[in-house]
Chains A and B, each alone.
Chain A
Amino acid sequence: MDWNSILQGALFTLAMTLISTALAYLFGLPLGIVLYATGKKGFRPNKMVNFVLGLIVNVLRSVPCLILVVLCMPWVRAWFGVATGKWYTMIIPLFVSTFAFVARLVEQSLNDVAFGKLEALRSMGASDLQLVTKGLLVETKPALISGVAVTAINVIGYTSFAYNIGAGGLISDIWSYYSRHTGNFQNSVEFWVMIVVVVLLVELFQEAGLSLSKILDKRKTAK
């Protein structure tokens, strides 16, 4: 069994996932906040802005990831010099297909904050920015963290499309292993080990996200 290549595949998957998730939050978090703020229940309702942003988000979310991989190729080439064949060529398409999802996820979490809490902050003279930084983000921290885990798990799934542009990563490796051993891949230990590693990666994000969110949530810490 080639442990080195399994390790390398896992690292590529991890790198793609972490970097594109981070980028998706860099853009998706502010976008989600604006979506919330301009929405019906938000503190700065604005139908026009909300509609336009909502439309962009919905369209982006409707385009399948594989299509985005293709559509992003010119940008990837412009940025990295190559559009295929390297693990980092997946970062931009993964980011593009994820940040709209993140925006909706963030919007959803913020919607759960009782409006009265914002009114309390307002009555103390909070600015819009302070409403967000001192109120919304503080109150939704646990939900946002479990949201990161959900997003990262999604992105791991999307890294499958790395196979189509030869960008590597563990899931892509599993597919190529299968295509090289179509006859007896089920009997190979290496094949199953790779799958177990993918499952462990997903579990890692799931558990880390959930337990961190639980530890940080102060709503149910009864003495």
Chain B
Amino acid sequence: MPIIQIEHLSKAFGCKKVLDDISLDVEKGDIYGVLGLSGAGKSTLVRCINGLETFDEGRILYKGEVLADSKKRIKRSKRRQIAMIFQDFNLLDQKTVFQNVKLSLDLIHKKDDAKVLECLRRVGLENKAKSYPSQLSGGQKQRVAIARALALDPEVILSDEATSALDPETTDSILDLLKELSAEKGLTIIMISHQMNAIERICNKVAIISEAKIVESGPLSSVFLKPKTSVAKSLIYSNHLKTVLDEEKGIRILFNGNEDEPLLANIVQECHILVSILFADTKVIDGKVYGQLIVKSPASKEEAAKLTSYLSLKGIEYEEVMSHGLE
């Protein structure tokens, strides 16, 4: 059973729909990315889960039980199982790091200083316990916020653009921390972001939201390798690629982990076609290559046909792409 099920969620501010019939299943242990441009409604979506926003239609289930629907919000006791981290950290400036983490325990009148220290140690800030937030860097502040979230032993962490205010290096370290925590504790993470890289780095699933609707969702590899909608494509391909393709026709070759041979060298040797690369974005995961490569279409028709038939023969996925297909 999914740990969180969102069923037909809709919400409007006045006559503007911000969520339009959103359904999403999140399994335990998932790191579920929700990607979209700002204003697409993705923030509102997670805020509905922990009751920071109400919604008009639909319901949200937690472990099969109704967590919230259009009439009643989440119960306070349930809120503690779903922690949240924010873009601007939202630490209390007048409290020390230690007191900030202790705060979540204070709210349930629980005194457990050992737990506070354990959480701080886990995020690598045990030596900052007595500092105040103003003395910390952005990344450290987010670590404190994560420690604060961990103190109540939540099952789910909602992350609302948690790395968007951080520099790239710090972003990566925070993301890696979240991934480790998810693996260690079986934590489920729902991660809102407008940064492709952030989602790509740690998520196993992704949903793309555009204009209040989910336009694509599923395992990260299938959505990112083969985006179907133009919205998804424009989010996933870089701007650089768009300008390149304005002038050239390309063939997009997909690597889905099955390719062992040096593909380009083979093309040159066996088809006698000299291909030039327009764009490449590949990653090695568990020793296998994933990603995509876009090569310039050969100028002559014969060569182009030769190339595509070679790719089909080898069982390699490809498609012809042009700039307007990415819009």
Cα separation A127 to B94 with both chains bound (whole Å)? 20
Asked if residues B76 and A123 are in contact (CB atoms below 8 Å), the reply is: no
> Is A116's CB under 8 angstroms from B95's CB?
no
Interfacial residues of chain B within 74-129, with CB under 8 A of chain A in the complex: 76-77, 79-80, 82-84, 86, 88, 90-96, 103-104, 106-108
Pair B107/A124 contact, Cβ less than 8 Å: yes
* Distance between Cα atoms of A40 and B108 in the complex (Å): 29
- Inter-chain contact A218/B134, CB cutoff 8 Å: yes
- Docked CA distance A219–B136 (Å): 11
User: What's the count of A-B pairs with C-beta under 8 Å?
Assistant: 80
Q: B152 interface residue, CB < 8 Å from A?
A: yes
Chain B 40-78: CB-based contact to A (< 8 A → 1; otherwise 0): 000000000011100000000000000000000000110
A223 to B131, CA, bound (A): 9
Closest CB of chain B to A122's CB: distance in Å?
A: 6
Whether B132 and A218, one on each chain, are in contact in the complex, defined by CB atoms closer than 8 angstroms, is yes
Given contacts A124-B79, A218-B132, contact A138 B84 (CB under 8 A): no
Decide if B135 is an interface residue (CB 8 Å cutoff): yes
Task: List the A side residues contacting B148 at CB < 8 Å.
Answer: 120, 124
Shortest CB-to-CB span from A40 to chain B, Å, is 15
B94 and A130 within 8 A (CB): no
Distance in angstroms between the alpha carbons of A117 and B152 in the assembled complex: 18
Task: Say if the beta carbon of A141 comes within 8 Å of chain B.
Answer: yes
Q: 1/0 per residue B9-42: CB within 8 Å of A?
A: 0000000000000000000000000000000000
Give every chain A residue within 8 A of B152 (Cβ-Cβ): 124
Bound Cα distance A221, B80 (Å)? 32
The answer to whether A218 touches B108 (Cβ under 8 A) is no
CB pair A125–B108 under 8 Å, yes or no, is yes
Instruction: Report the separation of the CA atoms of residues A219 and B131 in the bound assembly, to the nearest whole angstrom.
Output: 11
> What is the minimal beta-carbon distance from B190 to any residue of chain A, in angstroms?
13
Q: Are A122 and B107 in contact (CB under 8 A)?
A: no
Q: State how many residues of chain A have any CB contact under 8 Å with chain B.
A: 27
Q: Which residues of B contact A125 (CB under 8 A)?
A: 76-77, 79-80, 107-108
- Interface contact A114-B92, CB-CB below 8 Å: no
Shortest CB-to-CB span from B113 to chain A, Å, is 17
A135 within 8 A of B: yes
A41 within 8 A of B: no
Contacts of A120 in B (CB 8 A): 84, 86, 90-91, 145, 148
CB pair B134 A122 closer than 8 Å? no
**Chain B residue contacts of A139, Cβ below 8 A:** 92-94
Nearest residue, chain B, Cβ from A130? B107
Is B104 within 8 A of A124, CB to CB?
A: yes
Contact indicator A221/B77 (Cβ below 8 Å): no
Q: Please pick, from A114, A116, A218, the residue contacting B94 in the complex, using a CB distance under 8 A.
A: A218
By the criterion CB–CB under 8 Å, are B52 and A122 in contact?
yes
Asked whether B134 lies within 8 Å of A124 as measured between CB atoms, the reply is: no
A218→B93 contact, CB < 8 A = yes
Kindly supply a per-residue 1/0 record for chain B positions 210-253, scoring 1 wherever the CB is within 8 Å of any chain A CB and 0 otherwise. Answer: 00000000000000000000000000000000000000000000
Residues of chain B within 8 A (CB-CB) of A122 are 51-52, 79
B108 — which chain A residues lie within 8 A by C-beta? Answer: 125
A63 at the interface (CB under 8 A from B): no
The reply to whether A123 and B79 contact each other, CB–CB distance below 8 Å, is yes
Point out the residue from A114, A134, A142, A217 that lies within 8 Å of B103, measured CB to CB.
A134
Residue of B at shortest CB range from A120?
B90
What are the interface flags for A112-136 relative to B under an 8 Å C-beta threshold, 1 for contact and 0 otherwise? 0010110111111111001000110
- CA gap between A217 and B91 in the complex, in Å: 15
Chain B residues whose C-beta falls within 8 Å of the C-beta of A134 in the assembled complex:
103, 106-107
A-B contact pairs, 7 of them (CB 8 A): A116-B88, A117-B91, A120-B145, A124-B104, A138-B92, A142-B94, A218-B96
9 closest A-B pairs (Cβ-Cβ)?
A: A120-B90, A125-B79, A123-B84, A218-B132, A116-B90, A125-B76, A124-B104, A125-B80, A219-B93
Give B contacts to A, CB under 8 Å: 50-52, 76-77, 79-80, 82-84, 86, 88, 90-96, 103-104, 106-108, 131-135, 145, 148, 152, 158
List chain A positions with a Cβ less than 8 A from chain B. Answer: 114, 116-117, 119-127, 130, 134-135, 138-139, 141-142, 216-223
Knowing that A119-B52, A141-B94 touch, tell me 17 more A-B residue pairs with CB under 8 angstroms.
Answer: A114-B90, A116-B88, A120-B91, A122-B52, A124-B104, A126-B107, A130-B107, A134-B103, A134-B106, A134-B107, A138-B94, A218-B133, A219-B93, A221-B134, A222-B134, A222-B135, A223-B135
